[in-house]
Amino acid sequence: MPKERLSMRKIKEVLRLRWACGLSQRQIAESCSIARSTVGEYLLRAQAAGLEWPLPEELDEAQLEAMLFPLREGREARSQPLPDWAEVHRELKRKGVTLSLLWMEYKAQHPEGYQYSRFCDRYRNWAKTIDPCMRQDHKAGEKLFVDYCGLTVPVVDRATGETYQAQVFVAALGASNYTYAEATQTQSLPDWIGSHVRALRFFGGAPELLVPDNVKVGITHACRYEPDLNPTYQEMAAHYGVTVLPTRVCKPKDKAKVEKAVQIVEQWILAPLRHRTFFSVGELNQAIREGVEALNERPFQKFPGTRKDLFETLEQPVLNSLPTEPYTYADWKKARVHIDYHVEVDGHYYSVPYRYIHRPVEIRLTARTVECFYRGTRIASHARSVQQGGHTTILEHMPKSHREYLDWPPDRLIGWAKEIGPSTAQVVTALLERRSHPAQAYRSCLGILRLGKEYGTERLEKACKRAYTIRALAYKSIRSILKNGLDRLPLPEPPPSSPPLNHENIRGAHYFNNSQKEMIRC
């Protein structure tokens, strides 16, 4: 048989040039741009079939092919049993199933069937005829592809009338194409994580791999070999026991499955909604859910069954079980422990063990908790507070000397201050009352009392009187007064009070009292 099968039109041209025009095989090969051996092969086949020029008018191309290739047609006529290629394709998606195994099972049922090489060729030829998104080799339960649609949906805020563009998240399983979609207000990290959690709940299980694009919200540093994941995204993946495998940069074919799913969602779900007006993301998601349900139940065009059928029979049984509790969203941030063994989070201060002063820590923030980690080990945990400038302190985190301060009652410090003078006692009392917890002012009070040893108790009393008068109630202010000798200067006199105005147009309190009495009489 020649190396290439020409069309019947070109074969007729070969016969015409030979028998009608008398050209040599070399000339025919040059004219038809084919090999000379191919020309000779077809001329021998035509002679063996008893053909002459001109060919009979009633001889069509199918009859001519049957006359030129009787052996091939004879082999096909042996009616060898054909496998169910759709079933072969479906079985190949199961873990451990190969074409070799399926061929052995086929031969066990049909000993007269195709040999292995022909079996593989026939399957590959059949696979080329089905939908491209079904040709990819994805094992059941192995991969979940995720991405955002390029198409957004406008949502109108009822309160303000403003319009914002809702983002549409899409997830598709590799083997069954079973699809999930939802709308979120943004593509921020909380929405990104929340969409994953709801998608896994929709599928009722977790795959082995999550395949996202190199979206910045999930991948902090895109790299071909070792991409860096966002800590929250990584924690979420660990919670569900999945591995995140980002695609290569600028390689959309790595996630062709979800690229096709995004295209289908845009065409079959979002485009029909273009004339509707939505006033909330929840209202939009209700419409999207209806579209997703219809999409998953729509039959394939070139493949038997639906996405839902494939999911229920192929992927759902092999998905990993979900944890009892869904993932709780948490932000991560880096901080350095202050000298007072506290870290700052949103304007509030949380304590850590004092031995970690000046060391970098990682902070995990949920809606209710604040956790501090040092080199992967949790060193502190607190209930989250919204009090700006406040302190949350655990006694065990404090040095021994600081804990001893807490054993002192505030009256003890006030008593020491009274020994110096009433003004010093007023300042110490005011400092203790200004703090939500008196212990937070102990160091300031002790610092003020120690100034009496450096400058003398008499000068300290005068400095405290001046500080209390001008409301400069702080250790640094009192020290500045003493350092600059302001305690030796006379206190500033208050501005003289102005005499009351007396004018005929000013009615005074008696006028309103009389008016009220008249109204009561009426």
| 8 A C-beta contact, residue 422 and residue 408 | no
Kindly report the CA angle at 30 between 28 and 31, in degrees rounded to 5? 65
400, 419, 447 - which closes a domain: 400
What confidence score (pLDDT) does residue 504 get? 62
| 8 A C-beta contact, residue 336 and residue 358 | yes
Q: For 26-31, which contacts have Cβ atoms below 8 Å and span 24 or more sequence positions?
A: none
Tell whether 367 and 243 lie within a shared domain: no
As to burial, measured by CB atoms within 10 angstroms (0-12 exposed, 13-18 middle, 19+ buried), residue 362 is middle
pLDDT digits (tens, 9 = 90+) for 362-375: 999 988 899 999 98
Q: Is the pLDDT of residue 3 over 50?
A: no
Q: Is the pLDDT of residue 237 over 60?
A: yes
Tell whether 371 and 418 lie within a shared domain: no
Poorest-confidence range of 45-49, 129-133, 287-291, 461-465? Answer: 129-133
Instruction: Give the other-Cβ count within 10 Å of 190's Cβ.
Output: 14
**Based on the structure, what is the number of domains in the chain?**
5
Tell whether 193 and 296 lie within a shared domain: yes
What confidence score (pLDDT) does residue 222 get? 40
Tell whether 293 and 160 lie within a shared domain: yes
57, 76, 95 - which closes a domain: 76
Partner residues linked to 371 by β-bridges? 364, 381
Query: Is 202 part of a structural domain of the chain?
Result: yes
SS3 content of the chain, % helix, strand, coil (to 5): 50, 15, 35
Query: Is 222 part of a structural domain of the chain?
Result: yes
Q: Is the pLDDT of residue 218 over 80?
A: no
Identify the H or E element spanning 462. helix 457-469
Query: Is 115 part of a structural domain of the chain?
Result: yes
Tell whether 299 and 341 lie within a shared domain: no
Query: Is 511 part of a structural domain of the chain?
Result: no
Query: Is 103 part of a structural domain of the chain?
Result: yes
Greater confidence (421 vs 230) lies with 421
Poorest-confidence range of 311-315, 370-374, 379-383? Answer: 311-315
Residue 294 pLDDT level (bands cut at 50, 70, 90): very high
Tell whether 416 and 387 lie within a shared domain: no
Query: Is 521 part of a structural domain of the chain?
Result: no
Poorest-confidence range of 158-167, 338-347, 495-504? Answer: 495-504
318, 340, 367 - which closes a domain: 318
Distance CA 94, CA 83 (A): 18
Q: What is the mean pLDDT of residues 258-276?
A: 86
pLDDT digits (tens, 9 = 90+) for 10-53: 788 888 888 888 888 888 888 888 888 888 888 888 888 888 88
Greater confidence (407 vs 522) lies with 407
Q: Is the pLDDT of residue 78 over 60?
A: no
DSSP category for residue 93: T
Range of the domain at 352: 331-400
Instruction: Give the other-Cβ count within 10 Å of 46's Cβ.
Output: 22
Mean pLDDT of all residues belonging to the chain = 81
Tell whether 240 and 295 lie within a shared domain: yes
What confidence score (pLDDT) does residue 134 get? 43
Tell whether 154 and 302 lie within a shared domain: yes
Distance CA 431, CA 22 (A): 119
What confidence score (pLDDT) does residue 437 get? 66
Tell whether 251 and 365 lie within a shared domain: no
Distance CA 10, CA 8 (A): 5
Residue 111 pLDDT level (bands cut at 50, 70, 90): confident
What confidence score (pLDDT) does residue 520 get? 46
Tell whether 307 and 344 lie within a shared domain: no
Tell whether 173 and 285 lie within a shared domain: yes
What confidence score (pLDDT) does residue 228 get? 54
Joined tokens for residue 366: 């949920």
Angle between helices 25-32 and 8-15 in degrees, nearest 10: 150
Partner residues linked to 166 by β-bridges? 153
Query: Is 36 part of a structural domain of the chain?
Result: yes
Tell whether 191 and 263 lie within a shared domain: yes
Query: Is 220 part of a structural domain of the chain?
Result: yes
